[in-house]
Amino acid sequence: MNKPYVIGIAGGSGSGKTFFLKCFLEHFTADEVCLVSQDDYYFPVGHAMTKEENKLYNFDLPSTIDHEHFESDIFKLLNGESFTKEEYTFNNPDAPKKLLEIKPAPIIMVEGLFILHFKKIAEVLDMTIFIDADEEVALQRRLKRDLLERGYSNEDAYYKWVNHVVPSYREYLLPYRESCDKIVINNTQEAADIIKITDEISDELREKVFGEV
């Protein structure tokens, strides 16, 4: 097996990374691409916390990620090995946990807030994509997600944004923005705009990886 082509997709909370990934993955079959998400490598701490402790705990730091496990699994894929990983449910004890089986593929997508900060991961990335959005746009997306999906109050979600999310973004991700191969500005609410961008990048990848024109 030839060395897989590794794409790193980084973006702050509320940048629209999830929708970008969804559109991007639709261009490839399961045999052509696999996805490794940093979110599945959080140290499991939240289940033992009270609501107040959870509010104060800063999940937006590199130290909350089991980066050695994250790196190890990426290198397994590079060596043509599969692995299983329990999906992280963001400390929601009621959410059903899935056991993910990740198989090697010609294209490996690695996504997360700190993938450019973790040097061993950054060094194997063949293409880096930075998903960006204006701070106010990102905040509104984050508040909507935290209220609907994670059960935070508006106050708690805003506390985390101001005290955890923004400082971490500025320290651990923003400094890498200009060194990325592609910067995608995602302030739009129009799905067609992001779909068009993923169309273009996917065409470029098919030519690079599969020799398709």
Q: Which residues pair with 190 in a beta bridge?
A: none
pLDDT of residue 144: 85
pLDDT at residue 17 is higher than 80: yes
pTM of the model: 0.90
Distances (CA, A) of 124 to 66, 149, 171: 18, 33, 22
Q: Per CATH, is 5-208 categorized as 3.30.870.10?
A: no
pLDDT of residue 56: 82
DSSP 80-134: T--EEEEPP-TT-TTSPPPEEEE---SEEEEE-TTTTTSHHHHTT-SEEEEEE--
pLDDT tens-digit series, residues 183-200? 999 998 788 989 999 999
pLDDT of residue 190: 82
pLDDT of residue 199: 95
Stronger pLDDT, 211 or 74, i.e. the higher one: 74
Amino acid at 70: F
For 39-53, 97-111, 124-138, which range has the lowest pLDDT when averaged over its residues? 39-53
For 15-29, 51-65, 113-127, which range has the lowest pLDDT when averaged over its residues? 51-65
Confidence of residue 54 (pLDDT cuts 50, 70, 90): confident
pLDDT at residue 150 is higher than 90: no
Distance CA 4, CA 7 (A): 10
Nearest 5°: the CA angle 74, 77, 80 is 155
Distance CA 80, CA 75 (A): 9
Could you tell me if residue 195 is left (phi over 0), alpha (psi between -120 and 50 degrees) or otherwise beta?
A: alpha
pLDDT of residue 74: 98
Element (H, E) at 33: strand 33-37
How many Cα atoms within 13 Å fall on the side-chain side of residue 37? Answer: 13
pLDDT at residue 93 is higher than 60: no
